[in-house]
């Protein structure tokens, strides 16, 4: 059974098509990234998956059920963009209330609220009210509420937007740590972040699903991404292109080179390509910064 399945999904706001005939099927497992420019339809897709609104056309199934099905209650959680908790009630009372709605007893619900707040390092603000928190802390509390009852699927809309780098890293580590039991679907503009976390990537553009790629697909082993510290870019491109097994060398950013390697039958020639590159750097006294197998998400999506 697919985790999420969308068929012919469209959503109209008046005459504007926010989503246009989107089709995809996703399995449970590693985190899934949802990428796209502003206004691409990411939040609309999340809202449809959560059942906050109905599609204009098409069908959605989550764990084999339609959104809003009673069978999904407590199995799916979400961090909706811009949604905030009630400013008049303490954080722990609201999170305990959510846990109670998910079937926990009074004491168990309170313990669960403290547990999820501890996961985001905010157990000490449990008795405070939301207005006393900073934007970043509010975001982390909102992330904490998604973890109540360990749901099967968690949808996070821009989870690290507005967080400082240290807390953004903590959220990434949390997602990574919980990934074996919970599938996360994350929308973000931070491609580096998604690259570190996710395997499957959905790219939405103008309401259409333009790409669905796997970060670990076999085709990515046919690329190397090289970032240099010091080098003569033109000479490096020419010299690397001459190496056996290299099909093409391109550079769209200063000192970042994408090396395309020969595929399948000629793969044997690529086995020591890294060694030959290091030898070349040594000969020319070039300093490298990073050598990455495959391409960055940015390169994969926009090349």
Partner 1 sequence: MTNNPPSSFNNMLIIAMFELRKFLFNTRGIIALVAFGLVWGVLLLYPIQSASAMLLQPNVKDVIDSLFGANTLNVLFEWPVAEMAVFWCFALYLFPLFSILIAADQFSSDKTRGTLRFLTLRTSRDSLLFGRFLGQILIQGLLILLTIIATVALALSRDSQLFLPALTSGALVGLNLIIVILPYTAVMTLLSLYARTARQAMVFATILWTVISIAIMVLGSQSNVLAQLQWILPGAQLSDMLNTNGLNSLVYAPIPLIQTAAALLLGRMYMQRSSL
How far apart are CB 249 and partner 1 at their closest, in Å?
48
How far apart are CB 56 and partner 1 at their closest, in Å?
12
Nearer to partner 1, 84 or 235 (CB): 84
- Are 283 and 243 in contact by the 8 Å Cβ rule? The answer is no
149 closest CA partner among 119, 127, 126, 128: 119
Nearer to partner 1, 73 or 238 (CB): 73
Nearer to partner 1, 146 or 296 (CB): 146
Nearer to partner 1, 66 or 84 (CB): 84
Q: How many CB atoms lie within 10 A of CB 172?
A: 20
- Binding region for partner 1 (CB under 8 A): 47, 50-54, 68, 70, 72-74, 76-78, 80, 82-89, 97-98, 100-104, 112, 145, 149-150
How far apart are CB 94 and partner 1 at their closest, in Å?
8
Nearer to partner 1, 91 or 201 (CB): 91
54 closest CA partner among 62, 64, 44, 63: 44
95 closest CA partner among 52, 130, 47, 67: 130
Q: How far is Cα 262 from Cα 246, in angstroms, rounded to an integer?
A: 6
Nearer to partner 1, 50 or 258 (CB): 50
How far apart are CB 52 and partner 1 at their closest, in Å?
4
Residue 1 class from Cβ within 10 Å (0-12 exposed, 13-18 middle, 19+ buried)? Answer: exposed
How far apart are CB 20 and partner 1 at their closest, in Å?
19
How far apart are CB 25 and partner 1 at their closest, in Å?
22
- Are 145 and 74 in contact by the 8 Å Cβ rule? The answer is no
Nearer to partner 1, 51 or 245 (CB): 51
How far apart are CB 73 and partner 1 at their closest, in Å?
5
Q: How far is Cα 195 from Cα 33, in angstroms, rounded to an integer?
A: 9
Alpha carbon distance, N-terminus to C-terminus of the chain: 33
Nearer to partner 1, 106 or 268 (CB): 106
């Amino acid at each position: 059974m697919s985790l999420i399945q969308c068929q012919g999904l469209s959503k109209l706001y008046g005459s504007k098509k926010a989503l246009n005939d989107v089709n995809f099927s996703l399995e449970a497992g590693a985190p899934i990234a949802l990428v796209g420019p502003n206004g691409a339809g990411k939040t609309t897709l999340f809202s449809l998956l959560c059942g906050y609104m109905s599609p204009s056309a098409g069908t959605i199934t989550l764990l084999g059920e339609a959104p809003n099905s009673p069978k999904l209650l407590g199995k799916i959680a979400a961090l909706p963009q811009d949604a905030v908790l009630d400013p008049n009630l303490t954080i722990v009372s609201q999170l305990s209330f959510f846990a109670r709605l998910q079937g926990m007893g009074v004491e168990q619900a309170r313990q669960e609220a403290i547990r999820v707040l501890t996961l985001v390092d905010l157990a000490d603000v449990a008795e405070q009210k939301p207005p006393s928190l900073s934007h970043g802390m509010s975001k982390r509390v909102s992330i904490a509420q998604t973890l109540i009852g360990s749901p099967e699927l968690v949808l996070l809309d821009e989870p690290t937007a507005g967080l400082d780098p240290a807390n953004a890293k903590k959220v990434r580590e949390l997602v990574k740590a919980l990934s074996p039991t919970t599938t996360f679907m994350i929308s973000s503009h931070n491609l580096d972040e998604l690259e570190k976390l996710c395997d499957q990537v959905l790219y939405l553009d103008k309401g259409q699903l333009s790409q669905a790629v796997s970060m670990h697909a076999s085709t990515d082993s046919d690329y190397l991404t090289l970032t240099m510290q010091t080098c003569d870019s033109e000479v490096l491109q020419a010299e690397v292109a001459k190496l056996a097994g290299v099909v093409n060398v391109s550079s769209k950013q200063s000192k970042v080179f994408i090396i395309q390697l020969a595929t399948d039958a000629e793969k044997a020639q690529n086995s020591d390509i890294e060694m030959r590159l290091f030898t070349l750097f040594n000969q020319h006294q070039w300093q490298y910064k990073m050598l990455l197998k495959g391409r960055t998400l940015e390169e994969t999506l926009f090349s």
